[in-house]
């Protein structure tokens, strides 16, 4: 096996959500002991991993166009480039992908990538693609190495995967499998390692992270609230976030934690998708618009500076003008700091895909209208922070010389003119200006805030 230790170039391309970003980092960790070193471009790479997303049609198209370019590169290298497709397209389209792109060597689903070293060895022995899209009984997390490369001041940690909710429009339950939570002990150990290597903020990740119910070190099932409590006891960890949450799993104790747990940040991504009860029912969301309103009120009672982010879909099958108006109303009433909105994209195998579809032009018009409102709210929220004296966690250098950059309590990027590197420190900053996607501020000297 000594040949496996000669340095090899690995290029990883990541699409999709933060969980894919986390997975890409873990795949890199797995391959490092085999001699793979990451490189910034695919040219000349011995191995390219395309970690894919299947959530909307556009995401999938991107994969195939990128594969087209990789094929040419592989040919130019005389076939000396192993191409692996991982992630949600691999899971959903495994066989089709191998047929449509026969130059792909490996197709590995999101639950099977801990087997990569073994699969690579198989691919070296075999012509044609090696496909592993199993949902193995063993949890991949138990089989990943402990020596993850440091991610930085803000680090992401997957604690839960998969989804049992089966929203009418969504591929995730098919690509990521059933909901599963990592045991709390492993999560805490990984968080400690992250903090020891410089993390000051950790964002816990899961498709439905607030449904977390992992086995605790005490043998009991731990909720997300219980896990957050333990994590907040880690010295040196200053800020904790979690994403993405589902309204139905927003337990009272979790809402209360936003009041009681000072390390929990006052910013929450809580996708609602629509403001129409009829459409929420069609989406199989199992909650009404008023349930969302109630949760938002409770969160703001618990933490008055709580800011919200959300996801919206326009043009789900059956969405009328009235339904869309109800979405606009919900947005107007709630006031979001940030939001992502999408045109409904029919996904193969999902229930909504086989229903009569809303016209494309109607979807376009609704998306524009919604995005204009959401953009205005985002600008208003950012503008509202001008004049505040607020703690900023610095992460590193800014884009321009003499600038340092960090994040506000509400995850807004903050840029400050300063010549010293304050990465990893929380300092009080006076916010002096707001742009659409970032804030500028000045350091308030001497105040060094601990949390
Ligand atoms: N687990 C999260 C979100 C997962 S996907 C949740 O429950 O909310 C991220 C977002 O993509 C979703 O919130 C939804 O707004 C959007 N999305 C998912 N499937 C989609 C589809 N078929 N068409 C358009 N947008 C979609
Ligand atoms: Fe998809 Fe719904 Fe599950 Fe979120 S809760 S991942 S939108 S099925
Ligand atoms: Fe995409 Fe899979 Fe994440 S479909 S959004 S990469 S869970």
Q: Write the DSSP assignment of 284-348 as a string of letters.
A: T--S-HHHHHHHHHHHHHH-TT-EEEEEEEE--TT--HHHHHHHHHHHHHH--SEEEEEE----T
**Nearest atom within ligand 3 for CA of residue 52:** 6
Q: Whose CA is nearest to atom 12 of ligand 1?
A: 311
Distance from the alpha carbon of residue 309 to the mean position of ligand 3, in angstroms: 18
Q: What is the DSSP letter of 164?
A: S
Q: Looking at the predicted structure, is the pLDDT value of residue 282 above 70?
A: yes
**Nearest atom within ligand 1 for CA of residue 273:** 15
Tokens of 363: 């979807």
User: Does any ligand 3 atom lie closer than 6 A to the CB of residue 170?
Assistant: no
Q: Looking at the predicted structure, is the pLDDT value of residue 1 above 70?
A: no
Structure confidence at residue 5 (pLDDT): 61
Tokens of 149: 């490369």
Task: Please name the residues in contact with 420: beta carbons below 8 A apart, sequence gap of 6 or more.
Answer: 404
Structure confidence at residue 449 (pLDDT): 45
Strand-pair category, 106-108 with 130-132: parallel
Instruction: Tell me which residue of 406, 409, 393 sits closest to 440, measured CA to CA.
Output: 406
Q: Whose CA is nearest to atom 24 of ligand 1?
A: 344
Distance from the alpha carbon of residue 119 to the mean position of ligand 1, in angstroms: 31
For helices 87-100 and 57-76, the axis angle rounded to 10 degrees is 60
**Nearest atom within ligand 1 for CA of residue 341:** 15
Structure confidence at residue 419 (pLDDT): 87
Structure confidence at residue 299 (pLDDT): 98
Place of tokens 């949760």: 295
Distance from the alpha carbon of residue 208 to the mean position of ligand 2, in angstroms: 7
Structure confidence at residue 338 (pLDDT): 97
Q: What is the DSSP letter of 390?
A: E
Distance of alpha carbon 240 from alpha carbon 259, whole angstroms? 13
Structure confidence at residue 334 (pLDDT): 98
- b/e 248-277 (16+ beta carbons within 10 angstroms → b): ebbeeebbebbeebebbbbbbbbbbbbbbb
Instruction: Tell me which residue of 145, 156, 226 sits closest to 184, measured CA to CA.
Output: 226
For 65-193, list the strands marked E by DSSP.
Answer: 82-86, 106-108, 130-132, 154-158, 160-161, 180-181
Q: Which ligand is nearest to the CA of 60?
A: 3
Structure confidence at residue 60 (pLDDT): 85
**Nearest atom within ligand 1 for CA of residue 165:** 7
Q: Whose CA is nearest to atom 3 of ligand 3?
A: 17
Tokens of 146: 């402990």
Mean pLDDT in residue range 190-215: 97
Distance from the alpha carbon of residue 300 to the mean position of ligand 1, in angstroms: 25
Instruction: Tell me which residue of 282, 342, 368, 362 sits closest to 318, measured CA to CA.
Output: 282
Give SS3 for 282: helix
Which ranges of 148-251 would DSSP assign to H, the alpha helix?
172-175, 184-196, 224-231
Mean pLDDT in residue range 51-70: 93
Domains of the chain are 8-132 (3.40.50.12160), 140-384 (3.80.30.20), 389-443 (2.40.50.140)
Tokens of 406: 């960090």
User: Does any ligand 3 atom lie closer than 6 A to the CB of residue 172?
Assistant: yes
Distance from the alpha carbon of residue 166 to the mean position of ligand 2, in angstroms: 6
Distance from the alpha carbon of residue 90 to the mean position of ligand 3, in angstroms: 11
How many CB atoms are closer than 10 A to CB 400?
A: 9
Mean pLDDT in residue range 143-168: 92
Structure confidence at residue 2 (pLDDT): 46
Mean pLDDT in residue range 292-302: 98
Mean pLDDT in residue range 413-437: 94
Quick one: what percent of the chain has pLDDT higher than 90? 87
Distance from the alpha carbon of residue 311 to the mean position of ligand 2, in angstroms: 11
- Tens-place pLDDT, residues 31-50: 999 999 999 999 999 999 99
Distance from the alpha carbon of residue 272 to the mean position of ligand 1, in angstroms: 10
**Nearest atom within ligand 1 for CA of residue 163:** 1
Say whether the peptide bond before residue 244 is cis (omega within 30 degrees of 0). Answer: yes
Q: Whose CA is nearest to atom 1 of ligand 3?
A: 53
Mean pLDDT in residue range 368-383: 98
**Nearest atom within ligand 2 for CA of residue 176:** 6
How many CB atoms are closer than 10 A to CB 410?
A: 21
Element (H, E) at 125: helix 116-125
Q: Whose CA is nearest to atom 5 of ligand 2?
A: 165
Long-range CB contacts (within 8 A, 24+) of 283-287: 283/167, 283/168, 283/169, 283/313, 283/316, 283/352, 284/165, 284/166, 284/167, 284/168, 284/351, 285/167, 285/247, 285/248, 286/165, 286/248, 287/247, 287/248
Q: What is the DSSP letter of 138?
A: S
Distance from the alpha carbon of residue 325 to the mean position of ligand 1, in angstroms: 20
Lowest mean pLDDT across 130-144, 251-265, 409-423: 130-144
- Tens-place pLDDT, residues 77-123: 999 999 999 999 999 998 899 899 999 999 999 999 999 999 999 99
Give SS3 for 69: helix
Distance from the alpha carbon of residue 52 to the mean position of ligand 3, in angstroms: 7
- Tens-place pLDDT, residues 127-153: 788 999 988 767 788 888 888 888 999
- Tens-place pLDDT, residues 321-344: 999 999 999 999 999 999 999 999
Q: Which ligand is nearest to the CA of 62?
A: 3
Task: Please name the residues in contact with 301: beta carbons below 8 A apart, sequence gap of 6 or more.
Answer: none
Distance of alpha carbon 341 from alpha carbon 225, whole angstroms? 28
Structure confidence at residue 195 (pLDDT): 97
Q: Which residues surround ligand 2 with Cβ inside 6 Å? A: 163, 165-167, 170, 172-173, 207-208, 246
């Amino acid at each position: 096996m000594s040949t496996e230790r000669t340095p090899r170039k690995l290029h990883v391309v990541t699409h999709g959500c933060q969980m894919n970003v986390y997975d890409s980092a873990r795949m890199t960790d797995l391959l490092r002991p085999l001699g793979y070193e990451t490189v910034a471009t695919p040219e000349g790479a011995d191995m390219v991993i395309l970690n894919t997303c299947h959530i909307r049609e556009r995401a999938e198209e991107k994969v195939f166009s990128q594969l087209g370019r990789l094929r040419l590169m592989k040919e130019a290298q005389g076939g000396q480039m192993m191409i692996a497709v991982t992630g949600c397209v691999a899971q959903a389209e495994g066989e089709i992908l191998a047929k449509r792109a026969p130059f792909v060597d490996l197709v590995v689903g999101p639950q099977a990538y801990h087997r990569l070293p073994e699969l690579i060895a198989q691919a070296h022995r075999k012509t044609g693609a090696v496909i592993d899209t199993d949902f193995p009984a063993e949890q991949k997390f138990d089989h990943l190495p402990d020596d993850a490369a440091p991610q930085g001041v803000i680090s992401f940690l997957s604690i839960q995967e998969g989804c049992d909710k089966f929203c009418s429009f969504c591929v995730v339950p098919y690509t990521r499998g059933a909901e599963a939570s990592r045991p709390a002990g492993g999560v805490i150990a990984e968080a400690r390692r992250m903090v020891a290597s410089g993390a000051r903020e950790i964002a816990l990740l899961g498709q439905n992270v607030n449904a977390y119910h992992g086995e605790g070190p005490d043998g009991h099932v731990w909720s997300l609230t219980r896990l957050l409590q333990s994590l907040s006891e880690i010295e040196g960890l200053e800020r904790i976030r979690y994403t993405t949450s589902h309204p139905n799993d927003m337990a009272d104790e979790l809402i209360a934690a936003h009041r009681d747990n000072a390390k929990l940040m006052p910013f929450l991504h809580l996708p609602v998708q629509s403001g129409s009860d009829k459409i929420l029912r069609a989406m199989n969301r199992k909650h009404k618009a008023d349930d969302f309103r109630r949760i938002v009120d409770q969160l703001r009672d618990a933490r008055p500076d709580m800011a919200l982010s959300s996801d919206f879909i326009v043009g789900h099958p059956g969405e009328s003008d009235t339904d869309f108006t109800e979405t606009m109303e919900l947005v107007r009433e709630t006031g979001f700091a940030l939001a992502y909105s999408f045109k409904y994209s029919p996904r193969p195998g999902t229930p909504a895909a086989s229903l009569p579809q809303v016209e494309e032009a109607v979807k376009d018009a609704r998306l524009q209208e919604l995005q204009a409102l959401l953009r205005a709210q985002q600008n208003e929220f950012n503008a509202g922070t001008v004049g505040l004296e607020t703690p900023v966690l610095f992460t590193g250098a800014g884009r321009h010389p003499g600038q340092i950059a960090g994040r506000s309590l509400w995850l807004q990027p903050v840029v400050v003119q300063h010549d010293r590197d304050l990465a990893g420190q929380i300092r009080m900053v006076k916010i002096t200006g707001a742009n659409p996607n970032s804030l500028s501020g000045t350091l308030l000297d001497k105040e060094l805030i601990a949390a």
